[in-house]
Every structure is written in structure tokens, then in C-alpha cells.
A and B are shown apart, each in its own frame.
Chain A
């Protein structure tokens, strides 16, 4: 089915992200169930980060001939998605409790920066890998 081990690896990564997506969706649903009708979009939609920034891009890379990002680019993207997902859940907890903390802005800033850096790095390495192949 896959032409290379790299593609197999990326498919496995997409599956891992899918698992994280399911975990986040379940966590959000359970948290909302016990929050006495108080809800937070950050908690409900925390699953969107691993789904849209993890599973989807990796599946695209598996099935489309876009090349393979190198390991450093992938690491940066993983770090970005993890930061954004954790930040979303943390914000959801705060929202439901009815509080706030300015330190929260670390999550979107750091997570966004890491992910964008990863994407830029990936774009560069994908091009190079494609040329090499």
C-alpha cells in the first residue's frame, strides 16, 4: 500500500494523532457532562488541534506526493500541536471554573510559533527531499 517506510511512519503518526483526537473529544465530553451546564468552547473543541494539525496533514503527506518533512520539522510541529492542545484544555478548565490567568497566553503564542516554525521547516525540507528523490 505504501511506497516507503517513511510513508508508513507518517501513517502511524496520523493514527497516533487520531487517538489523541478521540481522547480530547472524550475528555471534553466527560468534563462538560459534570460541569453543571457551564461550557467552554476551548474544552469542547480541544480535539480540533490534533485532528486538523496532526491527523489531517499527515494523511495528506501519506497520500499526496508532497515529499517528506525531516525529523526536526516534525518535532517542532508535534511540540506546537501539543502546546496548543494542552492550552485549549487548560483554558477550558479555567472557563468552566470561571477564572482567568494571563499566563495562559503562553500556550497560543508558543504553540503557534512552534507549529509555524515546523511548517516552514517542513516546507523547506519537503522540497529538498522531493528534489533528491
Chain B
């Protein structure tokens, strides 16, 4: 072989492999075969009429979930259809999604009633006081219906804008997750708002971006998709709405499935366990060591959850460290809290709009991600 030919050929091979490696990591979409078994809401004691397909070509996991329309029809069959009059503000102008997004049965409320008359939600025999309303009531920063109550607020904490969503549910079945385009796979991505809209979500935050990693349990809506351990801490959500922090080193995915876990999120670390901050001041996600945009989920009380998204990487908001986030969660009354994917992924969606400032500083520049956690 000529002296100059070897480096040339080797250089081409190395460059080609590296190009393929990068494409395989970031671009090439790989949808994994997952069992498309039918699964129902037996976890919640529902009857067979409400059986839904857990996955499928058309994003069944996502799109088959009960949309606000369907739920309204399902739970309030006698509810009169809202007939907008000219004097009523259109949903778009009121800052709420169009009827096709949220459903035509809602009654957009321009006055943004944040605290409608409380009713009592019955769950598993335990009565919980939650501000539900018989009919959907949509405000600029609130949403209530028979099963869901969401109240958004914004605070400044540690030079950071923090978006808070207080969520009350009548059942954990309304706390759902969805994959991008309803497909489980690597590099199957869409923005939080796209996935939320595909699933008729009222409220959503980014999930754990399972598709960016090759390890870590993926158990969603009661179905186990990935059982390879990352050795990290996971958040398990059970059908009764309770949270548990588990470690993949000690708890197998199959065990979680046997325990009827409803959702398992694999990012971490846990921020609060039993009301105590469980991260050290210096602890960070992987090799991140700075204040960053963050997304976290916590449980305050039975079926009362708190979602937090902090802005960061912008001049107006520096972002939070994990310790600050944990401390803030504790201050807000969370008992168990868990850190989800952050940075450019951190997004909070509510009724057709992005609530936070994504890290690029532009609301229309959302990062495409693998999955969301949503209420709907």
C-alpha cells in the first residue's frame, strides 16, 4: 500500500463512522417494537367499557387517552353544549386554547376564576377537599372540572422565575405520560406542546427524556417498555396517586410492574424524601454544576401535586441548583419531589400555551423531547 493511501483511507473510515455515530445518536429515528396488548384502567378499578389501547401506530398510548372533550362527555352527559355568543370572548383571545384543543364543551371564563366553589372528590373511599367544579371552568391561569383542578402561579426565588402548578386530581389516572408521536423509541422526538396537543392535555411538563439514554426504566401508563437499569433513583407513581422514590440498583422493573406502578420516571435525583431534602448542596445532574432551568414534580398531599419549572440561562432568570429546587419544593409543602429533565428541555404547557421562558429565551423555540408528563 502506498504510504499516503493508508492515512487517506483510514481518515475516510474514521470520518464516516463518526458521522454515522452522531446521526445514530441524535438523528436516526428508531421505533422499538413494543407489545401492543390492550390494557385497561383496571388499576383504577374501572370497568371494561373504558378499555384503551396502550400503544399503536397512531400514537394510541397518547391519542387514545381520555381527552378533555371525552371526559366531559363521559362524566357530564347532561352538560349543555356551550354556545358562544358574540359578547363572549373567544377562547383564543382569552388566552386559552381553541375549542379543538380543549374541547367545545368548556365554558371559557374570562374572569379567570382561580378558586371556584370547592366540591369534594371521592377517591378510594377517602374524601379529599379539592376545588373541583361540575363543569369545566377555564381561566387564564386556572382550570377546573369534575376531576382536575390546576392553578398556575409565578414567583421569584433566588433570582429565578419559578412557575408553579398546583394540581388536584380526583384520581391518579389523570396524571399521565405520553411519548412523542405516541411511539416508543430512540430519537422519536417532538416538542412538549406538540405532544401535549396530540394528547389533548390540559397541562403538561417535559418528562425524563428517556430516548436520550439507553438505560433507565420506562414504565408508562401501567406498561413496561424498558427494564435496563441505570442504577439511578426513579420516581414511581402508583394508582392511588402516591409517590415512591426507588433505586434501580435495588428494585427491578418487573417488581414495579408487579406492584402495579402507574408511572415510573427515570431521571432524578430525588429532591425530597419524606419531607426532607435529599440532595446535597453540591449535587448535580450528571456533570451539570451550574444553576439551570429545571423541571420537578412533587406530591403535597393525597392527589395534590405540585409541578415546578424554573426559567434559566436567560438574563432575567439565572436558574436553580438542585439544592435550591429541593428547598423550594419543601417550602411549597411537597413531601416527595423528583427532578425531571431540565436545561433546554424544561417546558411547562397549559391550555395551548407555553408558560415558561424556554432556555433559548424564545417561547417558540422549544426543544424536541421524547415524552411528557401531563394532566388530561
A and B associate = yes
Contact residues of A with B, CB < 8 Å? 36-41, 71, 75, 78-79, 82-83, 86, 90, 93-104, 106
Contact A37 to B289, CB < 8 A, known contacts A86-B18, A104-B21: yes
User: Which of B78-86, B137-145, B206-214 is found at the contact surface with chain A?
Assistant: B206-214
Q: Which residue of B lies closest to A93 (CB)?
A: B22
Measured between alpha carbons, how far is A102 from B313 in the docked complex, in Å?
31
Contact A86 to B14, CB < 8 A, known contacts A38-B287, A98-B286, A101-B25: yes
- Least CB distance, A70 to chain B, in whole angstroms: 11
Determine whether B7 belongs to the interface, using a CB cutoff of 8 Å to chain A. yes
Chain A residues lying within 8 Å of B21, measured Cβ to Cβ, are 90, 101, 103-104, 106
Q: Which of A40, A99, A106 contacts B17 (CB 8 A)?
A: A106
Contact A40 to B290, CB < 8 A, known contacts A78-B7, A98-B212, A101-B24: no
B209/A98 in contact, CB under 8 A? yes
Q: Which residue of B lies closest to A79 (CB)?
A: B10
- Least CB distance, A33 to chain B, in whole angstroms: 12
User: Can you identify 19 A-B contacts, CB atoms within 8 angstroms?
Assistant: A36-B290, A36-B313, A36-B359, A37-B288, A38-B286, A38-B288, A38-B289, A41-B287, A75-B6, A78-B7, A79-B10, A86-B18, A90-B21, A94-B25, A98-B209, A98-B212, A98-B286, A100-B213, A101-B21
Chain B residues lying within 8 Å of A94, measured Cβ to Cβ, are 25
Measured between alpha carbons, how far is A96 from B26 in the docked complex, in Å?
13
Question: Top 8 nearest A-B pairs by Cβ distance?
Answer: A37-B290, A99-B212, A38-B288, A101-B25, A39-B287, A79-B10, A75-B6, A37-B289
B24/A103 in contact, CB under 8 A? yes
Q: Which residue of B lies closest to A106 (CB)?
A: B17
A90/B7 in contact, CB under 8 A? no
Determine whether B185 belongs to the interface, using a CB cutoff of 8 Å to chain A. no
Contact A36 to B292, CB < 8 A, known contacts A101-B24, A103-B21: yes
Chain B residues lying within 8 Å of A86, measured Cβ to Cβ, are 14, 18
Determine whether B46 belongs to the interface, using a CB cutoff of 8 Å to chain A. no
Q: Which residue of A lies closest to B289 (CB)?
A: A37
Sample of 20 more A-B contacts, CB < 8 Å, known A93-B22, A100-B215: A36-B288, A37-B288, A38-B286, A38-B289, A71-B3, A79-B10, A82-B10, A82-B11, A86-B18, A95-B286, A97-B212, A98-B213, A98-B285, A98-B286, A99-B26, A100-B213, A101-B21, A101-B24, A101-B25, A102-B214
Q: Which residue of A lies closest to B211 (CB)?
A: A99
- Least CB distance, A107 to chain B, in whole angstroms: 9
Determine whether B91 belongs to the interface, using a CB cutoff of 8 Å to chain A. no
Chain A residues lying within 8 Å of B182, measured Cβ to Cβ, are none
Chain A residues lying within 8 Å of B11, measured Cβ to Cβ, are 82
A39/B289 in contact, CB under 8 A? yes
Q: B23-45 vs A: 1/0 string, CB under 8 Å? A: 01110000000000000000000
Q: Which residue of A lies closest to B292 (CB)?
A: A36
- Least CB distance, B11 to chain A, in whole angstroms: 8
Chain B residues lying within 8 Å of A36, measured Cβ to Cβ, are 288, 290, 292, 313, 343, 359
- Which of B20, B214, B287, B289 has most A Cβ within 10 Å? B287
- Least CB distance, B292 to chain A, in whole angstroms: 6
